[in-house]
Amino acid sequence: MIKIRLARLGAKKKPVYRVVVADSHNARNNGRPVATLGQYDPAKGIESLSVDTEAALAWLGKGAQPTETIRSLFKKAGIMAQFEASKK
């Protein structure tokens, strides 16, 4: 199964995450992601979420399943609302 999830980067106790599309059977940071959609810095809040919206909508349309964290970030950014509107 293909999932949209976070891959951890950054120093100890100062995480920065990449938003990636990856096979769910691979470990979080092991293996090559299928695609990289953007970045997220939790220390700066939702304003730091930078995602390629067109690519994210394309992957959601292809059936990629977002994790719970990604789903909540996408809801706050308005991407899930765009996806729901495009389905109708």
What is the number of domains present in the chain?
Answer: 1
pLDDT at site 28: 75
pLDDT at site 85: 94
For residue 8, the SS3 value is: strand
For residue 16, the SS3 value is: strand
Question: Percent of the chain scored above 70 by pLDDT?
Answer: 100
The 10s digit of each residue's pLDDT in 58-83 is 999 999 999 999 999 999 999 999 99
- Residue 70, domain extent: 2-87
Q: How far apart are CA 32 and CA 18, in angstroms?
A: 13
Task: Name residue, tokens 């940071």.
Answer: 29
- What CATH number should be reported for the domain holding residue 41? 3.30.1320.10
What is the model's pTM?
0.89
Task: Name residue, tokens 């809801």.
Answer: 75
Torsion of CA 32, 6, 2, 75, to 10 degrees: -150
Which stretches of the chain drop beneath a pLDDT of 70?
none
